[in-house]
Structure 1
């Protein structure tokens, strides 16, 4: 997955859920996880969800830290193994408390979108770390024309 505007370039691997029922996030902050129980990037419907760490335990930044700088209109490209790359255009970004992350982000129906999720401040170690998520939503770029931001 690549977002040239913010120099994000992450490998993607499928992920599932943790024992607690949360989306599993790859341990390596250079790798994004595709939520394999939802829609895949390029699917004609639903939300294809990619998750990644903003940093690691040492404080070194992960690939998804670049999402802090992404703005509406940025182009996102997802390269796929068995198909042509698919392009998206960022339409929104928002921050939500972790315990209020809408389940609708993981929908398998409706218009296709790409949903990128990473951690967001505040960081409270005594409370288990980051207390919010940054959610970036992108819509497919239609063949022959760019989607408007």
Structure 2
């Protein structure tokens, strides 16, 4: 599981600014220091209310997956900011 911001309180883009553009079949590459990158293919994406992030996001059994999580609209400043999360699931290429 990798979680990151799409932007910050100043409006500057965060590390996951492009995550909302990912679609099923897109390629995601995870760079690793001192090792080859790991390539994944997006298999699912969904938006869930921020307080309803499914426990399956943090599962520790089954086939390996990459789960990317970031904030998603609506943005309600008077309620603390983004009220949803975008969850993108990807599998290692070759799976």
- Which residue number corresponds to residue 80 of structure 2? 128
Q: Size of the alignment, in residue pairs? A: 95
Q: Which residue of 1 is the match for residue 35 of structure 2?
A: 83
Are 2:35 and 1:69 equivalent residues in the alignment? no
After TM superposition, the runs of 4+ consecutive aligned structure 1 residues lying more than 2 A away are 81-84
Tell me how far 1:79 sits from its aligned partner. 1.7
> What SS class does the counterpart of residue 90 from structure 1 fall into?
strand
Question: SS at 2:32's partner residue?
Answer: coil
**1:137 counterpart (76, 89, 93):** 89
Deviation at 1:82, TM superposition (A): 4.2
Alignment TM-score, normalising by the size of structure 2:
0.92
Higher strand share: 2
Q: Give the superposed CA RMSD.
A: 1.2
Q: TM (normalized to structure 1)? A: 0.60
For structure 2, the residue ranges without an aligned partner over 5 or more in a row are none
Query: Which residues of structure 1 form unaligned runs of 5+?
Result: 1-48
What CA distance in whole angstroms lies between the structure 1 residues aligned with 2:28 and 2:70?
A: 16
- The CA distance in 2 between the partners of 1:87 and 1:99, in whole Å, is 30
Taking the aligned partners of 1:109 and 1:61, their CA distance within structure 2 comes to: 33
